[in-house]
Amino acid sequence: MTAILVEHVTKTYQRGMGHPVRALDDVSLTVEPGETLGIIGPNGAGKTTLLGCMLGFLKPDSGRVRVEGGAPDDLQVRAATGYLPERLVLDRWMTGVDFLHYHHALANLPAGTRREDCAQVLARVGLEPAQGELRVGRYSRGMLQRLGLAQALLGNPRLLFLDEPISGVDPAGVLLFRKLLGDLSREGVTLVINSHQLAEVERVCSRVVFVKAGRIESIETTRAGASHARVLRVRLSADTAWPAGVSLADLASGAGAQFHEWVAPDARFSVPDDAGATLLLAALLRAGLPVIEVAPEEGRLERLFHPGGGR
């Protein structure tokens, strides 16, 4: 069964007395069980509306959304779902542990394991027990994000919806979140991540949906999901002389790559996939070229945001 099915969903908002704004326009999408899907797009593109429809907070004008075969606001679906909102708003008088206990109870999880379950998720997101006893009003943005994720993990959900999960998180937190999301993905949890952090999305997600003006402009398979073509920038040392008679174009074509240009000290090549990148690098080194740095020229996802960058 498909984990999430979005079929021809259209959603329009009436903003004040003005013309209605079409936030989603005939959007269709499927998410398979265990998949990690990223949703990216410029501000106002409709990403949050799409997430809201998947969560059952918003009702589409037309089309339908199914989560594990049921309506997204079905209580059984909700019991299998975890959600981390972009801005975690909670009663400031609660302690972190109070907040987790509250959600543990709302999720109808067994009261007997409440203390243990909450301590477990708190540890999983890297919050100390003493931090759990603090009032949430004293939490930093990063701690709130961690607490929010801990809340979403309660009850080991099969589906997780994360809205800007690493926003405001410190570098150590980013590493922890990255590892955690990888672990969850390996455990078979279906993840839907709405984020502006393109590098993280590319790193964590197997597929990325690019939403623009309420429509899905493209669906990209990322490095995390599969090997893909990209442009490599290869920097050669200016201090070391090249072997005589070396042609970058010949070396590239011999390795199944394509040479674009040489602008000292960088050469640009297109490679078909990860294996192609390895072959090209090996060929350059075999030819005795003084390679000092190799880097992908630009994240593929970033290109989508440039005018004409989408398909």
Partner 1 sequence: MNRTLVTTFLRQRARSPMRMTLLMLMFGGPLLMATLTRSLAPLAGAAAQVVLVFVAGAIGQDVSSGVLQLTFARPVSRPSYVVSRWLAAGLATTAFVLLQVLLATLALSWRGAPVGAADAARIVLEGAAMAFAGAAVMLALSAFVNGLGDLGVLLLCFVSAQVLSMISGQLHWDAVGIAARFLSDTLFPKLDLGWLFGRGAISWAELASWSSTLTLGLGVAIWRLNRRELSYAAD
Binding site for partner 1 (CB under 8 A): 13, 23, 43-49, 52, 55, 57-59, 73, 75-76, 78-79, 81-83, 85-91, 93, 102-103, 105-108, 151
The conformation of residue 70, written as its DSSP 8-state character, comes to: B
Q: Which of residues 13 and 262 has its CB atom nearest to partner 1 in the complex?
A: 13
Compare residues 114 and 223 and give the one whose CB is closer to partner 1. Answer: 114
- Amino acid letter, residue 110: P
In angstroms, give the least distance from the CB of 106 to partner 1: 4
- In the complex with partner 1, the residue whose CB is nearer, 21 or 249, is 21
The residue among 39 and 232 lying less far from partner 1, judged by its C-beta, is: 39
In three-state secondary structure terms, 81 is strand
Please tell me the number of Cα atoms within 13 Å of 2 on its side-chain side.
Answer: 12
Structure tokens that stand for 215 in this block: 């429509």
Report the 3 state secondary structure along 104-135. HHHCCCCHHHHHHHHHHHHHHCCCCHHHHCCE
d(CA 133, CA 129): 7
- Interacting residues of 183 by C-beta distance below 8 A, sequence separation 6+: none
In the complex, the smallest distance separating the C-beta of residue 59 from partner 1, rounded to whole angstroms, is 6
Give the shortest CB-85-to-partner 1 separation in angstroms. 6
37 touches 207 (CB < 8 A) = yes
- What would the DSSP string read from start to end of 91-107? -TTSBHHHHHHHHHHHT
| Minimum separation from the CB atom of position 68 to partner 1 (A) | 13
Q: Give me the least distance between CB of 52 and partner 1, in Å please.
A: 6
Q: Which is nearer to partner 1, 49 or 190 (CB)?
A: 49
Least separation, in Å, of the C-beta of 107 and partner 1? 5
Q: CB nearer to partner 1: give 70 or 272.
A: 70
Q: Calculate the dihedral angle through the C-alpha atoms of 292, 297, 302, 308, rounding to the nearest 10 degrees.
A: 170
Residue whose CB is less far from partner 1, 141 or 286: 141
Q: How far is the CB of 137 from partner 1 (least distance, A)?
A: 11
d(CA 214, CA 44): 8
